[in-house]
Amino acid sequence: MAQTNTVADDLDVARARAYQRRRRLVLILRFALAVFIVGSWEMTTRVGCHGPDSATCVVDPFFFGQPSGIWSQLVSWVQKGTAQGPLWEQIAVTLEETVLGFAIGVILGIIFGVALGRNRLLSDVLGPYINVLNAMPRIVLGSIFAIALGLDIQSKVALAVVLVFFVVFFNAFQGVREVDRDLLANARILGASQSQLSRHVILPSALSWILASLHTSFGFALVGAIVGEYLGARKGIGLMIATAQGTFNANGVFAAMFILAVLAIIAEALIMRLENFLIKWRPNAINNPATM
Amino acid sequence: MREADAKGPAIELRGVTKRFVSPSGKSFTALRDLDLTVAAGEFCAVVGPTGCGKSTTLALISGLEPPSVGTIRVFGEPVRSVGRSVGYVFQRDAVFPWKSVLDNVAMGPRLRGADTEKANIQAREWIARVGLAGFELYYPHQLSGGMRKRVALAQTLINQPRILLMDEPFSALDVQTRALMENELLELWASTGASVVFVTHDLEEAIGLADRVVVITAGPGTVKGTYRVDLPRPRNIAEVRFQPRFIEIYEEIWKDLRDEVLVSYERSKHLVAS
Ligand SMILES: Nc1ncnc2c1ncn2[C@@H]1O[C@H](COP(=O)(O)OP(=O)(O)OP(=O)(O)O)[C@@H](O)[C@H]1O
Ligand SMILES: [Mg+2]
């Protein structure tokens, strides 16, 4: 008995070691890939250049930027600020627009999704209009919002809301429609009123659908804020991109993109935590280490 | 039970037909002209071949589905929607995956307005009674199929329904647990005086538990025959099946049931062949 136990222990130890080894390999390969891509980018923008004319390089850094240039752009933004004020202020403005648009869009999406999912008549009447609205390239509304709401935060929030709303709406709607009929029947037998059905059965059941939509919709909120700023603003990362474009500063565009990517990754991690917190009842709710 | 007779039947189905209409407009008759009466405090078992409409019958009694033709009364009142006096253990286990065992079981009292603390105390009692003490904080996906079934049972019984509908509640349990649960159910039933409609595939289970066994014909379902089970109570499920009288009743009912099962089986073969 004791012997089989130690054998099992040995196996466990071996398995844990193999897992560690694999993990290290993955990390090393990831790092190597990044070094390779950034390195070859830097290299190709530096070799073959004749004199001051950057067009003679293998890859023209004037158009395609240069990792070292992007880095010095970031450093200069952090140290000296941007053309429209300190860097943190631009980030704060864009984040505020994104988060506000995201929150309003999510709440509206859930309310409308659940309402239409529960009410056949309402969904039959509104359904086609919502499909038409969804089929339209809504990003164009950004121009309308810029005209109607001006250069301040409102026009960007509105654009973010419009983009986020539909993603969340369709998921919430579908989530409500997919509710297990047996669970509804059971809750009714146990004594649930209509509002209790929503709270105890429909919302929890639709929650996994809604949460799944948050990942994509935060990205949409960011796009809404940036495009809104791009179309007309006094502050924000979108404006920094527009300014960089206006001065043919490719490194500036890439540097702004880098900042956005960092913001998006942080938001993604937060949403993941929220998801795991809210649906801890689901099997495998804990993330497996292979993701990210 | 004499007193019950005076009050009139607990459940009464008169000339009930149930048709399901598919989205394409085709109608399918699941039950035809079904008459069924269950006295107050009676334990009635329903057997019949698969697809004959047993679950549909329970859905009609519970008020979840309306009949196409005919009337259904519970305690003399026509059934219009889901009533408070009904408990229903579904064929597919219908516990709420996002609620812990405790919250699942406490749900009935809480939905009916009890405060959380009282509901939880009651729920713990029922969890212990179905043998799940210690699993209060588990989520359904962490339980076995049989354990989930027991959660469903506690969830239903905690409401102390006067009408108890059970759709093959023990079919997922092993033989020993099953016998334990069956005895427990009989004890509970004896102490509450609920009227029970118990659907099962297992004729031995039906006879062991019930006062009366109803055989339903192959679909569209209607009553083929009803049989009194005059075995003395209290019964011990593990022993009752060895009594000579039990075997007599079994053979009598089985003759009827076998014909229907064969009809149903022949049909399904034709379906596959065509
Ligand atoms: N909602 C529904 N829509 C259409 N047809 C249905 C519906 N519910 C049941 N039926 C049909 O009615 C018939 C009876 O179904 P039911 O579930 O009552 O059978 P059952 O006797 O409980 O069978 P089993 O013993 O296999 O559980 C079946 O042929 C089934 O296909
Ligand atoms: Mg059934």
- List pLDDT tens digits, range A185-220: 999 999 999 899 989 999 998 988 899 899 899 999
Q: Any idea which ligand is nearest the CA of B201?
A: 1
How far are the Cα atoms of A75, A144, B206 from residue A80, in angstroms, in the given order?
A: 8, 35, 85
In chain A, what residues touch B107 (CB-CB under 8 Å)? 187, 190, 200
Task: State pLDDT tens for residues B9-19.
Answer: 999 999 999 99
Lowest mean pLDDT among A129-138, B106-115, B125-134, B204-213: A129-138
- Give the residue-averaged pLDDT of A100-108: 96
Q: Kindly report the CA angle at B95 between B94 and B98, in degrees rounded to 5?
A: 130
Positive or negative: CA dihedral B229, B234, B237, B241: negative
Shortest CA distance from A190: residue in chain B: B108
Cα nearest neighbour of B142 on chain A: A283
Whether B141 sits inside 8 A of A281 (CB atoms) is yes
Asked if A197 is an interface residue toward chain B (Cβ–Cβ < 8 A), one would say no
* Interval B88-96 mean pLDDT: 91
* B254-269 residue pLDDT tens: 988 988 888 888 888 7
Determine contact: B238 vs chain A, CB below 8 A.
no
- Taking only the tens place, the pLDDT of each residue in B97-131 is 999 999 999 999 999 998 999 999 999 999 998 88
Q: Is A277 on the interface with B (CB under 8 A)?
A: no
Comparing alpha-carbon positions, the chain A residue that sits nearest to B161 is A190
- Kindly report, residue by residue over A235-251, the tens digit of the pLDDT: 999 999 999 999 999 99
Burial tier of B225 (Cβ tally within 10 Å: 0-12, 13-18, 19+): middle
Q: Distance of CA B85 to CAs A10, A245, B2, B11, B198, Å? A: 59, 72, 21, 12, 16
The nearest CA of chain A is from the CA of B98 a distance in Å of 5
Is the pLDDT at B3 greater than 50? The verdict is no
Q: Which of B13, B16, B21, B28 to mutate to test the pocket of ligand 1 (most atoms within 8 A of CB)?
A: B28
Task: Provide the pLDDT for residue A133.
Answer: 85
Contact residues for B59 (Cβ-Cβ < 8 A; gap 6+): A185, B65
- Say if ligand 1 is within 6 A of residue B21 CB: no
> How far apart are the C-alpha atoms of B126 and B136, rounded to whole Å?
11
Phi-psi region of B216 (alpha: psi -120 to 50; beta: other; left: phi over 0): beta
Worst-scoring range by mean pLDDT, A83-87, A226-230, B72-76?
A83-87
What is the Å distance from ligand 1's center to B267 Cα? 15
Q: How far is the CA of B267 from the centre of ligand 2 (A)?
A: 18
Question: Looking at chain A, which residue has its C-alpha nearest residue B163?
Answer: A189
User: Hey, of B91, B111, B167, which one would you mutate to test binding to chain A, going by the most A CBs within 10 A of its CB?
Assistant: B111
- CA of B167 relative to ligand 2 center, distance in Å: 7
For the record, the structure tokens of A163 come out as 């983009």
Ligand 1 nearest-atom number relative to CA B58:
18
CATH class of A65-291: mainly alpha
C-beta B140 within 6 A of ligand 1? no
pLDDT tens figures, A1-34: 445 566 667 888 888 999 999 999 999 999 999 9
Q: Are A210 and A274 in contact (CB under 8 A)?
A: no
Q: Is A205 on the interface with B (CB under 8 A)?
A: yes
Of A185, A196, A279, the CB nearest to B111: A196
Considering only CB atoms, which chain B residues are within 8 Å of A188?
Answer: 64, 82
Which among A189, A196, A283 is the nearest to B86, CB-wise? A189
A180 touches chain B (CB under 8 A): yes
Cβ contact, residue pair A191, B99, below 8 Å: no
SS (H, E, C) chain A: CHHHHHHHHHHHHHHHHHHHHHHHHHHHHHHHHHHHHHHHHHHHCCCCCECCEHHHCCCCHHHHCCHHHHHHHHHHHHHHCECCECHHHHHHHHHHHHHHHHHHHHHHHHHHHHHHHHCHHHHHHHHHHHHHHHHCCHHHHHHHHHHHHCCCHHHHHHHHHHHHHHHHHHHHHHHHHCCCHHHHHHHHHHCCCHHHHHHHHHHHHHHHHHHHHHHHHHHHHHHHHHHHHHHCCCCCHHHHHHHHHHCCCHHHHHHHHHHHHHHHHHHHHHHHHHHHHHCCCCCCCCCCCCCC
pTM, full prediction: 0.79
Q: Compute, in angstroms, the gap from residue A208 CA to the centroid of ligand 2.
A: 29
